[in-house]
Amino acid sequence: MADPSPTLLETFENPYPNRSYTIDTVCPEFTSMCPKTGQPDFGTLTISYIPNQKCFELKSLKLYLQQYRNHGAFYERVTNQILDDLVSVTEPKWMKLEAAFTPRGGIRTTVIVEYPESDS
C-alpha cells in the first residue's frame, strides 16, 4: 500500500484573510497500525490553526486521515508528519496538533506539535 500523501488534502480560500482567527477541528476516529506489533492504534486528533490564505476542507481531511488506517506509524512520527502535511498544504500563520492515543499496557500517550514552535 502506498504511503499516505498530502495530495488528498484540499483547501478553500479563507473568506476573512485580513482577520487572524482560530479554527479548532477534532477528529476522534483516527486509527493507524503499530509497525512493531502489527496491532491497530486509535486516537483523537485535535487540530487548531490560524489560517492565512487557505483553510483545509473537512471532507478531504477525513479522506487524508483515512490513508493511515492500514499504515504502520509510530505515535511521534505520525503526529509530526500530519502536522507537516497540513502546514505544507494550508501555509497557516500558526498550527497545533494534539494526538491523544488510547491506552496500551495501562499507559496512554499524547503527542503535541506546533508550527511555528512557540518561544516559551
Known binding site: residues?
75-76
Q: If DSSP codes are grouped into helix, strand and coil, which group holds residue 42?
A: strand
7 or 116: CB nearest a second copy: 116
Sign for the CA dihedral angle at 96, 28, 99, 6 comes to negative
Catalytic residue positions, numbered = 34, 41
Residue in 34, 25, 54, 19 with CA at minimum distance from that of residue 101? 34
5 or 58: CB nearest a second copy: 58
Q: Which residue is it, cell 477541528? A: 25
Does position 80 bind a second copy by CB under 8 A? yes
Q: Using CB under 8 A as the criterion, which residues of the chain lie in contact with a second copy when the complex forms?
A: 14-16, 19-29, 31, 39-40, 42, 51, 55, 58-59, 61-62, 66, 69-70, 74-77, 79-80, 102-114, 117
